[in-house]
Structure 1
Amino acid sequence: MKSKPRHILFFFTYLWLFSCKESSLSSNDSLLALIPLLGASANASVCPKSSTLPSDIFLANTVVSASANVSGFSDPKKAINGVCGAGELAGSLDVYALETTGAGATMVLSWGGRTVKNVPDSIDLIIYDNSFRISGDTNTYAMDPSVIQVSRDGSIYCGFNPSYTAGNINLLTSWTKFGGLRPVFYNMTTNPLSNEDLFISTGIPFLLGGGDGFDLDDLDPNDPNDVNCDTTAANDIKTNGFKFVKITSASNVINPATSTNFPWPPGSYNGSDIDGVVARELQ
């Protein structure tokens, strides 16, 4: 599924394949092995329990624009009401789903007028979606690639020049500088972490709280999909920070390597599923 229908499809297909394939495991062992999957699925629906957000988490808290209308996932407040990750094997259902193309494929969030700083030698923001692993290969995920751009004034947007390597569309290594790739471990209800914790690298291509991190120093004014961005605008953001973040389903963005839109993982009836965005520091 991605959103709900795809998560359910992948989840129960995973269970069916696991239970049907030949194995030396006893039935008790098989049941024990499935418990983490069941727990992860359950965790997807228990968050948030409170309307009060953690005060130390610098969440984007304002929906600037959002026009998607995906049945069951059309409330844009789900993108600012806290991060509700369900771990490696399941995705949160507390999300706002973008569409695959058109105006509904994009949303813009802000921090209510505050500015996200560029912290030296650090990731500056994290995008949380609801990707999850779909095979024994830790590099294979049901993902929602999204193109991320930031702006100081809401009109000039600079991005990170993402790239896709043709091949297995579900391989994490096929996608570079996209949001919506990695699972989310942070859950404000069942796995609370501090803002500082969220930006800790685990030594592999994952952050402690999961999600996809972006460093403002990596902004590329040569990204062909940027809006009015040039070296001056990119350097202004690097020096002074940004106020707006734009998230767009990759399927609605031109891949400069092919002059066609980026591909979209099969089995999904909607675009990216936004669980939240967190900044490292605000001013």
Structure 2
Amino acid sequence: MQLLTRFKISGYLFLWVLAYFSHCKNSSSSGENLAALLPLLNLTSDLNFCPKSPLPSEIQIATTVVSASANVSGFSDKNKAINGICGSGDLVGSLDVYALDITGPGASIVLSWGGKTVKNVTGDDFIVYDNSFRISDESNTYAMDPSVIQVSIDNTNFCGFNPSYTGGGVNIMNSWNRFGGLRPVYYNMSTKPFTNLELFTKTNGSFLLGGGDGFDLEDLDPNDPNDTGCDSNLVDTIRASGFKFLKITSAAEVNNPNTGSKFPWPPGSYNGSDIDGVVARELQ
């Protein structure tokens, strides 16, 4: 039996585990099902140690919530989007997150680095951490929160990466290109620390050593139809001088120009993207 339900509300964790275990006792594959629960049980201990305080000084984490209006029960603390990265690995998502709505004004959050500028350097310039996790033995099948990522100098005109969905399946990672919220988070500031350099180190193909989804400012697209305030001049300016504001929006709130309707939303989640944090490669 695959664990397809994205469990998010920490207060219900114990009751949910009991119910699931009761079902497993009547299953011929109870051993496998019990093994699938172990990451969830370990998660409760991880929550006691993360986020780390004070934050590691070398990790360039976004420190300011500029705007956010979601109010998802149990996950409405905006500070969770800037208080540290608390990943739980490949098989379970972190609960130390701020949850966005699927659609509407609460589907977006804008973060900043307290007035500092994220520079354009070689390779990925920042990493977005959500709480995706694998739900199948196939490494490409995940419970995901695809999010559209945009950057800005003035918090008015945003430029994005022209994300695309191929239609190959909402839980198939390769169906989503240039989105956040796709890859699991291995980085945990307390139990699995990394240096800032290690976080931006590629491993296992498109995955980063600490997980999350990396973005390179060289990939900004002035022709993204969802960024009407962006043009080639603004893209060139951001590439040359960096950006100060980052917007994360649940994909279901954004128009898919290939279909004329909103991007689909994966099943199993009653809310939108879950924000664990954002880390920049270099600030100025």
Q: TM-score, normalised by structure 1?
A: 0.90
Per-residue CA deviations over 1:27-80 (Å, capped at 9, x if unaligned) read 5xx599447524553355234254311101000000100000100101111000
For 1:264 and 1:31, how far apart are their aligned partners in 2?
Answer: 27
For 2:96 and 2:205, how far apart are their aligned partners in 1?
Answer: 27
Gaps of 5+ in 1: none
For 2:62 and 2:77, how far apart are their aligned partners in 1?
Answer: 15
Q: Secondary structure at the match of 2:71?
A: coil
Partner residue of 1:232? 233
For 1:249 and 1:78, how far apart are their aligned partners in 2?
Answer: 17
Matches of residues 133-282 of structure 1 in structure 2 within 5 Å? Answer: 133-282=134-283
For 2:250 and 2:76, how far apart are their aligned partners in 1?
Answer: 15
Per-residue CA deviations over 1:59-116 (Å, capped at 9, x if unaligned) read 0000100000100101111000000000000000000000011110000000000000
1:65 aligns with 2:59: no
Q: Secondary structure at the match of 1:4?
A: coil
For 1:234 and 1:40, how far apart are their aligned partners in 2?
Answer: 44
Partner residue of 1:83? 85
1:231 Cα deviation after fit: 0.3
User: Letter of the aligned partner of 1:112 in structure 2?
Assistant: G
1:227 Cα deviation after fit: 4.2
- Per the alignment, do residues 243 and 139 of structure 1 end up closer, same or farther by CA in structure 2, a change over 3 Å counting? same
- 8 Å CA contact 1:115, 1:241 repeated in 2: yes
Q: Secondary structure at the match of 1:209?
A: coil
1:226 Cα deviation after fit: 1.0
For 1:44 and 1:226, how far apart are their aligned partners in 2?
Answer: 39
For 1:21 and 1:107, how far apart are their aligned partners in 2?
Answer: 42
Partner residue of 1:107? 109
- Per the alignment, do residues 175 and 108 of structure 1 end up closer, same or farther by CA in structure 2, a change over 3 Å counting? same
Identical counterparts, % of pairs:
61
- 8 Å CA contact 2:9, 2:74 repeated in 1: no
1:204 Cα deviation after fit: 1.7
For 2:106 and 2:47, how far apart are their aligned partners in 1?
Answer: 25
For 1:18 and 1:210, how far apart are their aligned partners in 2?
Answer: 31
Where has structure 1 moved over 4 Å in runs of 4 or more?
Answer: 5-8, 11-23, 30-36
- Per the alignment, do residues 261 and 200 of structure 1 end up closer, same or farther by CA in structure 2, a change over 3 Å counting? same
1:153 Cα deviation after fit: 1.1
- 8 Å CA contact 1:70, 1:99 repeated in 2: yes
Q: Secondary structure at the match of 1:83?
A: coil
- Per the alignment, do residues 221 and 40 of structure 1 end up closer, same or farther by CA in structure 2, a change over 3 Å counting? farther
For 2:42 and 2:134, how far apart are their aligned partners in 1?
Answer: 12
For 2:85 and 2:115, how far apart are their aligned partners in 1?
Answer: 21
- 8 Å CA contact 1:47, 1:187 repeated in 2: no
- Per the alignment, do residues 278 and 15 of structure 1 end up closer, same or farther by CA in structure 2, a change over 3 Å counting? farther
User: Letter of the aligned partner of 1:60 in structure 2?
Assistant: A
- Per the alignment, do residues 268 and 176 of structure 1 end up closer, same or farther by CA in structure 2, a change over 3 Å counting? same
User: Letter of the aligned partner of 2:8 in structure 1?
Assistant: K
- Per the alignment, do residues 236 and 17 of structure 1 end up closer, same or farther by CA in structure 2, a change over 3 Å counting? farther
Q: TM-score, normalised by structure 2?
A: 0.90
- 8 Å CA contact 2:150, 2:247 repeated in 1: yes
1:216 Cα deviation after fit: 0.3
User: Letter of the aligned partner of 2:86 in structure 1?
Assistant: C
Q: Which moved more, 1:137-146 or 1:195-204?
A: 195-204
Q: Secondary structure at the match of 2:218?
A: helix
Gaps of 5+ in 2: none
